[in-house]
Structure 1
Amino acid sequence: MVVIDSDAQLPDLAVVLVGRTLWRYRSELAPFYLVAMLALGGAVLHITHPEWWAWLLGAATVTAWALAVFGDRVGLAVRRERLYAAGVTVSTGGWLSAVTALGIGFQPLPPVLVAGGFMLAVPWWVHRRRRAKVRVDRQIAAWPEIAQSVGLAGSRPQSAVVDVWGWRARFALARGQTIHDVVGKVPAIESALGTFRGAVRVLPTRDDKANRFELRVLDTDPHADAIPWPGPSVSSIAEPIDLGPFEDATGARVLLLRRHGLIGGVAGSGKSGGINVLMGNLSACRDVVIWAIDLKRGMELRPWATCIDRLATTPQQARVLLRDAVAVLEARAEHLAARGQRTWEPAPEFPALVIVIDEYAELADDAPDTAAETDSIARRGRAVAVTLIAATQRPTQKAMGKGAVRSQMDVRVSFRVRERKDVDLILGQGMLSAGWHAHTLNAPGKFLLSSPEHDTPRRGRAYLLTDEAVSTTAEHHASVRPVLDAVSQRALDARRSSPEPEPTEADAAEPEPHAGTTGDGPEAALRKALDGAPDEGLPIAHLLMITKMSRPTLYRRLNDLVTTGHAVQVGRGRYRAPRPDSDHTV
């Protein structure tokens, strides 16, 4: 049996505890450490090299000047931080040079060191980022306990840095753990760290190692306030467009050339603002022709009408526009094949064609026969620089799951969605479980961006364009918009010479028939139901059941029919066709 002498171990234990305490609170005790090092260093230099005092004073002066002027390059982002660092440097350098020349006992150098050290320590102790660094160090020190409680036992911190918005740390995972395991533990990590909900981000490290991850913790939300649009970030479709800043202030830049895009989000999520940012940048590109479809009678895109080459606001106009787009891509493909080329390189004389569709779900409802054209553009448009950008508030399976369109979208931008399942509908299957939580976005304009350049869930916030900014931008770029190239224009001329009529101005005012007006389509069903309605009219619920239209579409069609005299409203939510002997309306 071995007897341990506890009395003999107490001194060693005390030394260990004191050493750990001094190391743990090294940030708070840094001013005292500096004072002790100055006193020791000054005494040694006075004995060994007293003639160095002039060199020390000069070096301190130059270093202080460099910190004041170029301190931002070494992490001193705020001006007062640079001035504080310069003041500490010149003060300590001056005192050290004096001690080197005169000796540590020369009066009043010792009391000056104590008083000056205390005065310079006060800003250090009260500084917010320094206090944050102390708090972060304590949380990092407690990580083994946190990891054990959240189910990541064995993971260990490697480094930690405090920044403007919070802090970030790099961690090594235990054998068999992956970043996907960490993503699933985010709520538990937030609870263990005592942060607010949504404050923790889990990202891969820059070296993309499977057994590493970066933890980012926000103290304040950098996207709490709207961010004004600084102006176009590109002049060519070949350049990546800046949609808005990420939380680390880097731009959410995405390339649209030879890619199709999908923008989704519920009403009020900021989707329209994101479209405005896109339109503002596209309008500045002199190698892009913009076509657009807005079935809300142009409510969203009409402010950009001076920069849009063609704007379709009715189902019939949308059909013609998409068929023209297919004709353009086929003509371009034939042109490239005849010259042995593989891709259409955008230039002002040979511009790319970008088709922006607002409320894609409405197009699927009102003009379902356009599915073949959108599929064709999605599948074959890349090489010939015909790009499709679809936006929708209703990411339903019917609207987004049919055909090749959704699967061909390389760029996905998701603003806030209402249900968790909508995350996968917009961003792609499995994205919700991978940490793309678009349903938790808590302010208009916040988005998640998925593209070949952005494969991790980083939150951004779209720039805000005011109505005045939209008007000014559209007016500024209207005079420099390019026209379609000769190859594409000849294809359109050939199509217009076909028997299919081009929509007229009357078509824009007159309610456009759906496919099957003379057959079994929803428009024909609506007309037939109204013609056969009793004097008290048919209720909306009945008309929805008969026509199979969506509620917004039905109300819009009824409003068009009432405006043109083809229907009357005889009560709240009740409609019928007009009678020869009565035109009663409510």
Structure 2
Amino acid sequence: MVERNAQRQVAELLELQLQGGSDAGGVGRYLLHRAKPHLPPWLAWAGTGIVGALGNWRWADSAAAGVGLTLASVAVTGVTWWAGKSTSQQRRLHSAITVAAGSAWLTAACLAGPTAHPVGDLYLMGGPALALSWNIRMVLRQTTDASGDSTDKGLLEKVGLARAQLGAAKVEPNRVTAPLAVEAGEQTNDDVTKSLGRIASALDLPTSAVRYNPDPASSRRGELVIVPEDMLAEVVDWQEPSNLGGSIADPLVIGRYDDGAPLMVWLPGDPEIKRNSTHLLIAGGTGSGKGETALNLLTEILSRRDVIVWFSDPKAFQDFRPLLPGLDWAAEGGTPTEVLVAAVEAVIPARTGWLGAHGYRQWVPEAAEQQTSREHTCRPDGRACGCPGMPFLVTWFEEAANTLRKMGDDAFTGIAQEARSAGVSLIVSLQRPSYDQMSTSTRASLPSVIALGCDARDEGFVLPDEVLAAGAHPGAWGNRRPGYCYVVSPGVPEDRYASPARTRSFPSRAVPVMEVLAQWAQRNGASADPVTAGAASVVAGNAYTGRTPAGAEQPAPLRMVKEDDAMVDNGLLVDPEDVDIDPEAELPGAEQGDDTPIFGQATGRKPSPEEARRLFTQALEEFESEGQMIVGPKDFMDWCDRHHLSRPWVSARLKEAAEEGRLQPTNATGRWRIVPVLTAA
């Protein structure tokens, strides 16, 4: 390619030389400029003849000069052959033959004379022939080869694609795209993908810098993409959301590609351009930057006006604590997450019913506004209904492997298969989405993925085969390139699927900005609509309260305080309850009953069957009031000890409560969801 650029520059220079006026002087200049590039070989021929004549005048009778000239001829020819090793084989051979012939004639002319027979004849016939051969070579070099020969052809030959044809390259900043077609009937696109590593080696680039995008309509055509410079090596810190106050339907900017283009994803669909709504998987090994990638996405979501977020994190929101006030529902792992999953399953049919009643085939930004249009009304008379809008719902399960182990590998299957039409997007984040952690049905229902660095053996779990074949290789990063990722999602051009990208970093100075963003979301973000909130409350009861209102008291963060030295004498250390006791007073005498044993005696009594059932009903009400809507026999362990009841007895009562409608089974064996009292009644 360097040689081709040099040739292009030479051609442009020649074109400038050929410019001239149309008068006689201009024609003369044109002819002179036209002849200039071809003059050097002829000047060398003429100069050789003059030097031969001078040499004969000087060394005609010198034997030593003959030896010297012969050795010089051999040396010059050898140097020419050595110096030409970096050029093409044809140029090297042509140069060596020219120098050898010229130096041999010069030696003969110096010793025998330039006009001696056959020295003079060779000069007059062989010299013009050699000069003309260089003129022909120059003409052929300046002629554009439509088949893409020269350096590119040599490169393809090296990698086993000798008969492949390269088209005109499209050059962009830090990105070159060239159409490629392999030989019909002999090779396919698979042969090109297998050669990507060798192409990268020939260009001295990393493997990820060379990609191939096959043409879906052809098995032998595609585009070869080369990104010569890794622009992702520089760490870029997060500053602020890209579109504060915009719609969740607008692109979410979470980083940049290796050519500097912004990295964007979409969650809702767009019926105008036929883009589907999507669920998203964030997958990456330990140390791959999965947490910061999640922060990039979550800050973008919370900055939009028409979306609410239900968020589950078994790690007690370790990375997301500054954004906690902006979440509509935050649940830690275990039982609270089980309740959240059940609530999501319940709101899906409620939301699809509302959208269908208002004439929406899928969620669009207009659905989040108050329904003032006659086209989107639930009234039978066709007048505007004025119903409150329904914001988009993002359900996020961080460190989802914990939830999947507790609830089963198909815990999200129903949500993933049904939620998109309800204006609900499911985001699942885990390290290794293998079949032993997530069911194949769930994984197949997560069409979008942000694939960060991982073990090379896990690449097939996170990216489609065709993306891996196109050159994607997240296993090459591991945990050595935090934030490096590939993104496969609706709305992202397919030729970008195999392009490396990098999300932004969140330094400690970003925490105050995230706290301000959470406050903005409290004041300006959407609130759950009555349909969604009602369906969630039916399932979760007091466990769902919605986003904390702006201005409400927030839990005070823990701060380190300086403690006083415990050995400093600050007065008597006396319990406040004992301040009135006189330490000098006499103790009272022994009284009846003082010798009664305190320990080892039976405590309480076993209740009657009717009383036990009443206590069990009260226990369910207490769980409900505390917001613990998922229960099982293990949650009654302390209760059983207090009331002298067994675990099998509790299991039997749980089944009876389910038959009565007070409980409903969950996906997990032995776990039951409490149905709020009003609903059960």
User: 2:167 aligns to what?
Assistant: 158
Residue 472 in 1 paired to residue 472 in 2?
no
Residue 405 in 1 paired to residue 442 in 2?
yes
Instruction: Give the superposition deviation at 1:497.
Output: 5.3
Q: Which amino acid aligns with 1:459?
A: P
User: 2:499 aligns to what?
Assistant: 458
Question: Quick check: 2:452–2:484 contact (8 Å CA) kept in 1?
Answer: yes
Instruction: Give the superposition deviation at 1:287.
Output: 0.9
Residue 178 in 1 paired to residue 188 in 2?
yes
1:221 is paired with a residue whose SS is: coil
Instruction: Give the superposition deviation at 1:372.
Output: 5.8
State how far apart, in whole Å, the 1-side matches of 2:155 and 2:424 are.
Answer: 51
Name whichever of 288-297 and 485-494 sits farther off.
485-494
1:145 is paired with a residue whose SS is: helix
The 5-angstrom pairing of residues 537-556 of structure 1 reads none
User: 2:351 aligns to what?
Assistant: 332
User: 2:316 aligns to what?
Assistant: 297
Instruction: Give the superposition deviation at 1:140.
Output: 6.5
State how far apart, in whole Å, the 1-side matches of 2:397 and 2:231 are.
Answer: 31
Residue 495 in 1 paired to residue 476 in 2?
no
1:483 is paired with a residue whose SS is: coil
Question: Quick check: 2:281–2:446 contact (8 Å CA) kept in 1?
Answer: yes
User: 1:218 aligns to what?
Assistant: 227
State how far apart, in whole Å, the 2-side matches of 1:29 and 1:428 are.
Answer: 46
The 5-angstrom pairing of residues 88-487 of structure 1 reads 141-165=150-174, 167-176=176-185, 177-204=187-214, 210-229=219-238, 231-234=240-243, 235-257=246-268, 258-338=277-357, 341-345=360-364, 346-347=367-368, 349-365=389-405, 367-368=406-407, 374-400=412-438, 402=439, 404-420=441-457, 422-428=458-464, 431-441=467-477, 443-454=481-492, 455=494, 456-476=497-517, 477-478=520-521, 479-487=523-531
Instruction: Give the superposition deviation at 1:403.
Output: 5.8
Question: Quick check: 1:326–1:373 contact (8 Å CA) kept in 2?
Answer: no
Question: Quick check: 2:278–2:490 contact (8 Å CA) kept in 1?
Answer: no
Residue 517 in 1 paired to residue 634 in 2?
yes
1:281 is paired with a residue whose SS is: helix
2:516 is paired with a residue whose SS is: helix
CA gap 1:403/1:154 in 2 versus in 1, 3 angstroms: closer
Q: Which amino acid aligns with 1:26?
A: Q
Question: Quick check: 1:324–1:495 contact (8 Å CA) kept in 2?
Answer: yes
Report Cα offsets for 1:190-237 as digits up to 9, x if no partner: 2233334433222347x9754333223333211111223364334212
State how far apart, in whole Å, the 1-side matches of 2:206 and 2:467 are.
Answer: 24
1:306 is paired with a residue whose SS is: helix
Instruction: Give the superposition deviation at 1:389.
Output: 0.2
Gaps of 5+ in 1: 1-21, 49-136, 521-586
Question: Quick check: 1:377–1:388 contact (8 Å CA) kept in 2?
Answer: yes
Q: Which amino acid aligns with 2:221?
A: R
Gaps of 5+ in 2: 29-145, 269-276, 370-388, 543-619, 638-681
Q: Which amino acid aligns with 1:436?
A: A
Instruction: Give the superposition deviation at 1:316.
Output: 1.0
Instruction: Give the superposition deviation at 1:251.
Output: 2.4
Q: Which amino acid aligns with 1:413?
A: I
User: 1:91 aligns to what?
Assistant: none
When normalised by structure 2's length, the TM-score is 0.53
State how far apart, in whole Å, the 1-side matches of 2:456 and 2:207 are.
Answer: 18
The 5-angstrom pairing of residues 575-586 of structure 1 reads none
Instruction: Give the superposition deviation at 1:503.
Output: 8.0
2:287 is paired with a residue whose SS is: coil
Instruction: Give the superposition deviation at 1:385.
Output: 0.8
Instruction: Give the superposition deviation at 1:380.
Output: 1.1
Report Cα offsets for 1:65-90 as digits up to 9, x if no partner: xxxxxxxxxxxxxxxxxxxxxxxxxx
1:187 is paired with a residue whose SS is: helix
CA gap 1:514/1:269 in 2 versus in 1, 3 angstroms: farther
Q: Find the structure with the greater CA-based Rg.
A: 2
CA gap 1:197/1:377 in 2 versus in 1, 3 angstroms: closer
Question: Quick check: 1:276–1:470 contact (8 Å CA) kept in 2?
Answer: no
Report Cα offsets for 1:535-557 as digits up to 9, x if no partner: xxxxxxxxxxxxxxxxxxxxxxx
Q: Which amino acid aligns with 1:393?
A: Q
State how far apart, in whole Å, the 2-side matches of 1:218 and 1:274 are.
Answer: 23
Name whichever of 436-445 and 291-300 sits farther off.
436-445
Question: Quick check: 1:262–1:391 contact (8 Å CA) kept in 2?
Answer: yes
Question: Quick check: 2:239–2:510 contact (8 Å CA) kept in 1?
Answer: no
1:404 is paired with a residue whose SS is: helix
User: 2:50 aligns to what?
Assistant: none
CA gap 1:238/1:140 in 2 versus in 1, 3 angstroms: farther
1:383 is paired with a residue whose SS is: helix
When normalised by structure 1's length, the TM-score is 0.61
Question: Quick check: 1:266–1:416 contact (8 Å CA) kept in 2?
Answer: yes
